[in-house]
Amino acid sequence: MRKLALFGNPNTGKSSLFNRLTGLKQRVGNFPGVTVDKQMGELKTGGETIQIIDFPGTYSIYPRSKDEQVVYDVISNPAHPDYPEAAIVVADASNLERNLLLFTQIYDRNIPTVLVLNMTDVAARNGLIIDFDKLQQHFPETTIVRSNARIGTGLNELIAAIHTPKKATENPQADTLIALEDTARQSADTEKRFERIRKIVKDSVQQKSKSPGQLFSAKIDRWLVHPVFGYLFFFALLLLIFQSVFTFASYPMDLIDSGFAQFSEFTANSLPEGLFTRLLTEGIIPGIGGVVIFIPQIALLFFLLAILEETGYMARVVFIMDKLMRPFGLNGKSVVPLISSAACAIPGVMATRTIHSRSERLTTILVAPLMSCSARLPVYALLIGLVIPDRRIFGFFNLQGLVLFGLYALGLVSALLVAMIIKQFFKKSKERSVFLLELPAYKAPRWANVGLEVLQKVRIFVTDAGKIIVAISIVLWALASFGPGNNMDEAAAKVPKPSVESPEAADEYNNRVASAKLENSYMGLLGKGIEPVIRPLGYDWKIGISLLTSFAAREVFVGSLATIYSVHQDDEITEPLIDRLREERYPDGRPVYTLASGCSLLVFYAFAMQCMATLAIVKRETKSWKWPLIQLGYMAVLAYLGAFITFQILS
């Protein structure tokens, strides 16, 4: 079977073309010796079956990451099992200058090559007129095919070209593939190639006029990527987003809250009394309800962020953040992983694969989880709603929104400062990092994409995070409902009966019985065991239990609190969690949740690792236990000290 390689820059439509050519006949393997996915497929044409291998997208044959190195390894070694008999190089026709670098590097290797000029519609929209005959004259030994992989045009011409690719004549440059370590010669070679490419592009591409979209984008960008106004606009926009999250989400949250309260009451009244009914009404329903209530805030945040992404503004954010991060010693390529971590640290850590320098990659991995991820939002929302007053500052700023903005800013600032400190422990990298960024033209958001993004996030949050929360709620309920021997009943019996008969006295008595039972349950014993460690931070043992259970995932904290405060509280299952927390008192009557303890918890969650999946990914990416353990350790110290200082200052 003939082997054909598919190369190209990232975002050129290479994968769309691969899908068009191979249809459903695809499988995924690994390139020998590395853990880089190898996408393979088969094309049946003219009675022949051709195997097509889709290589990772790269700007140059000289790699900047492990993924990209696969292209170099294969092309530099004709004995490699994946060495192709012919190659297809997919190029973005709207940016030929950048795309032709990789093409010329492969063309010069004497591999029969087909050049696919994809996205010709975008090039035409941008006012580019490409003279294909002239371009062909510059590369006589290749077949140039025009295509639009998105809608499938040019596919027949490409298949014909694949069938009989032009045979490259012997090229004296074929032996000039430069060693990986010789970066100086690589740079010189790249410069020389770009000089040649610029002449070719000047000869064969004509810029008619800039499109209205490009002109509009250039005008707006004068302000949005401005060294001063760019940041002001970005921070003002963030502030507006966080204000909206608190202001507009409150209406659906109230609806969900009352819905769950009614459902809990209905379940308690409809089912016969017994353990299972108690598990449902005290464990599972409050556990799920405690988290589902925050869906409007999460959906609203993702909705607003998806709009920023769709309009093309997020690329500008990456651009201005690059300038902000460099003084802190972070690689320009750290920007994307860190910004990704604001949604979730896991793709952020995985995105560091593009960082070539090991020390800079490790630094980025170690600080990425400090960025405030979406799993922190339910915790922040609950605690802010609990201890920060809902009032206006300067007439229009909502204080709760300001605090949420402050927590996200705290995540970014601490990531930058910690990166600066970590860099001191690594040898200084001599490599100068190059960060290439293409700013797309602004466009109106595609509402279907925005809607789908929000729906998908919410669906997975409810189903997948929901499963963990339900499981933990069940275990917590069991730990809180049972205790060793008859300890719980004996403790309840020791509570003195009220001397006067009144509803208030009966309520007081019931609360004390519930509290005595809970304290003597397995969970109470465990909580009391860890209480001395967390007391200096202003937490009681119930918060301690929630901290322990949320080690697996931060958002479990809210569900755990909801379950803990429901067990044995027969009369109060219909009361919203936030009200139950406000009423929680120490035995001496002091409230448990004060401004000091609430802010201490907020700071704790801003810094603490509390995500097992991230630790597992860090272990996988660094192939060592050392780095996840260091990360867990430094973040735990930071969280404990931060929470301790906050509590001591505010109390």
Task: Give me the residues that bind another protein (CB under 8 A), please.
Answer: 10-11, 272, 274-277, 279, 314-315, 318, 336-337, 339-340, 343-344, 346-348, 350-351, 353, 373-375, 436-438, 440, 456-457, 459-461, 464-465, 467-468, 470-472, 474-475, 478, 552-553, 555, 612-613, 616-617, 619-620
Give me the least distance between CB of 544 and another protein, in Å please: 19
Beta pairing, strands 48-54 & 2-8: parallel
**In the complex, least distance from residue 481 CB atom to another protein, rounded to whole angstroms:** 9
CB of 162 or CB of 379, closer to another protein: 379
Distance, in Å, from the CA atom of 530 to the CA atom of 127, rounded to the nearest integer, reads 68
Q: Which is nearer to another protein, 238 or 458 (CB)?
A: 458
Closest distance of CB 442 from another protein, Å? 13
Q: 3-state class of 591 per DSSP? A: strand
Smaller CB separation from another protein, 168 or 553: 553
The four Cα atoms 623, 625, 626, 631 give a dihedral, to 10 degrees, of 100
CA dist 376 and 407 (Å) reads 10
Nearest approach, Cβ of residue 479 and another protein (Å): 10
Residue closest to 81 by CA, chosen among 34, 29, 31? 31
Rounded to the nearest whole angstrom, what is the least distance from the CB of residue 600 to another protein in the complex? 26
Query: In whole angstroms, how close is the CB of 95 to another protein at the nearest point?
Result: 11
Q: How far apart are CA 525 and CA 518, in angstroms?
A: 9
Minimal distance, residue 613 CB to another protein, in Å: 6
Comparison of 471 and 595: residue with beta carbon closer to another protein: 471
Nearest-CA neighbor of 440 among 354, 275, 315, 549? 315
Residue 498 token pair:
């009220």
CB of 184 to another protein, least distance (A): 26
**Per-residue DSSP letters for 409-444?**
HHHHHHHHHHHHHHHHHSPPP-PPP------PPP--
Sign of CA dihedral 608, 611, 614, 620: positive
Q: Which is nearer to another protein, 479 or 518 (CB)?
A: 479
CB of 465 to another protein, least distance (A): 4
| Residue (388 or 545) nearer to another protein, CB | 545
- d(C-alpha 289, C-alpha 566), whole Å: 12
Q: Which is nearer to another protein, 197 or 368 (CB)?
A: 368
Quick check: helix, strand or coil at residue 42? strand
> Which three-class secondary structure state does DSSP give residue 609?
coil
CA distance 371 to 377: 12
Query: Of the two residues 317 and 384, which places its CB atom closer to another protein in the complex?
Result: 317
Min separation Cβ 90 and another protein, Å: 16
The minimum distance between CB 520 and another protein, in angstroms, equals 20
Rounded to a whole number of angstroms, the minimum distance from the CB of residue 570 to another protein is 16
Neighbouring residues of 113: CB distance < 8 A, sequence distance ≥ 6 = 86, 87, 88, 89, 103, 106, 107, 141, 142, 165, 168
Smallest distance from another protein to CB 575, Å: 24
Nearer to another protein, 468 or 630 (CB): 468
Pick 21 or 343: Cβ nearer another protein: 343
Alpha-carbon span 405 to 397, nearest angstrom? 11
Instruction: Give the Cα separation of 497 and 178 in Å (integer).
Output: 88
Three-class secondary structure assignment of 103-117: HHHHHCCCCCEEEEE
Amino acid at 312: G
Residue 315 vs 409, nearer CB to another protein: 315
| DSSP 8-class letter at 371 | S
Task: Tell me the three state secondary structure of residue 191.
Answer: helix
CB of residue 32 to another protein, shortest distance in Å: 18
Smallest separation (angstroms) from another protein to the CB of 309: 8
Closer to another protein by CB, 177 or 556: give it: 556
- Which CB, 201 or 336, lies closer to another protein? 336
C-beta of 466 vs 498, nearer to another protein: 466
Cβ distance to another protein smaller for residue 316 or 580: 316
Closest CA to 14 of 102, 130, 110: 102
CA pair distance 578, 400, nearest whole angstrom = 15
Distance spanning both ends of the chain, measured CA to CA: 75
Interhelix angle for 626-650 vs 612-622, to 10°? 140
Q: How far is CA 451 from CA 250, 297, 300, in A?
A: 20, 15, 11
Place of tokens 């975008």: 122
Shortest Å distance, C-beta 475 to another protein: 5
Q: Which residues does 215 contact at the CB level (< 8 Å), separation at least 6? A: none
Q: What length is written for the chain?
A: 651
- Of 278 and 580, which CB lies nearer to another protein in the complex structure? 278
For 471-506, give the DSSP string: HHHHHHHHHHH--STTHHHHHHHHSPPPSS--HHHH
Q: Are 197 and 97 in contact (CB under 8 A)?
A: yes
